[in-house]
Amino acid sequence: MNTLSVVRDFTATTFRLSTPIIFAALGGVISERSGVVNIGLEGMMLIGAFGATVGSYYSHNPWIGLLVGAAAGGLAALIHAILSIHFKADQIVSGVAINMLALGSSNYLLLLLFKTAGNSPAVPTIHWKIFAIAAFILAFLIHYFLYHTPAGLRIRAVGEHPKAADTAGINVFFIRYCCVIASGILAGIGGTYLSISLLNRFTRDISAGTGFIALAAVIFGKWTPVGALGAGLFFGMAYALQFVLPGLLPHGVKIPPEFFNSLPYLLTMVVLVGVVGKAVPPASDGIPYDPKESR
């Protein structure tokens, strides 16, 4: 295999594998900019992937599958919003509960609807490049929205100083609900990509930690949309190395495949060790808001 072919394949694989990370990371940015930590991105991706599979399979139309997957992710996010915003539950615990619920329910429904505990039947698909292009465009649109529109200013104000925002007449609860649900929709689209684009079926635990990688991308990207885009590409490159590096080893040199499979997670830990202390989240990120405190 010549160098040009290796570079071309590596680039395509990077874009292909970074796309779901970027969608989920953008959702994480929106949620955390409003002051709500969304640990449940992994579960929302999983629910979105299953919803997209069901919608695409029964309608024979992948675009309907996309809508169902996005809606499923948004519904899961609504549960997280109700628990963490209305009932002021611990946002980390709520997110973990969403992840557990998604894993258990998707496995059960896979068996119930498709009579299989492993893979669903094949479904109609959407070409991966459509998702990849949309992810790039969306990152810059969200950046413009957050930093150059009045609505974006309100979101950032709610995430930084909800008491001051409330005093200024901004509905903190409404903003946070909208942002958390939007994060679920984006994570659901990321999951949709996995099931009806990257693959053409749903498999058990199809997200395989992608939502957690997306959380790392939010931090690595310093809670900005363009930063999350760059971080998503970085982690997508780490995934792509799994497929490229084995073919570049000198003849006779053998490295266990488990090493290459662990690269994305190893790089995630390295990045977080180097970035966490330097990256500063929104001031009220993860802190439930009580309107009585503003009076």
Place of tokens 């609900």: 177
CA distance 156 to 30: 9
CA distance 18 to 180: 22
pLDDT band at 152 (very low <50, low <70, confident <90, very high): very high
- The mean pLDDT value for 13-31 works out to 97
CA angle 284, 290, 294 (to 5 degrees): 90
CA distance 247 to 4: 14
Q: Is the pLDDT of residue 267 over 90?
A: no
pLDDT band at 268 (very low <50, low <70, confident <90, very high): confident
Residues 6+ apart with CB under 8 A from 16: 128, 132, 198, 236
pLDDT band at 265 (very low <50, low <70, confident <90, very high): confident
Could you write out the DSSP letters of every residue in 151-163?
Answer: HHHHHHHHHH-HH
Nearest to residue 74, comparing CAs of 104, 47, 107, 110? 47
Nearest to residue 229, comparing CAs of 26, 8, 9? 26
**What are the tens digits of pLDDT across the range 107-132?**
999 999 999 988 999 999 999 999 99
Give the chain's domains with CATH numbers.
3-294 (1.10.3470)
In the chain, DSSP finds a helix count (H) and a strand count (E) of 12, 0
Give the pLDDT score at 277: 59
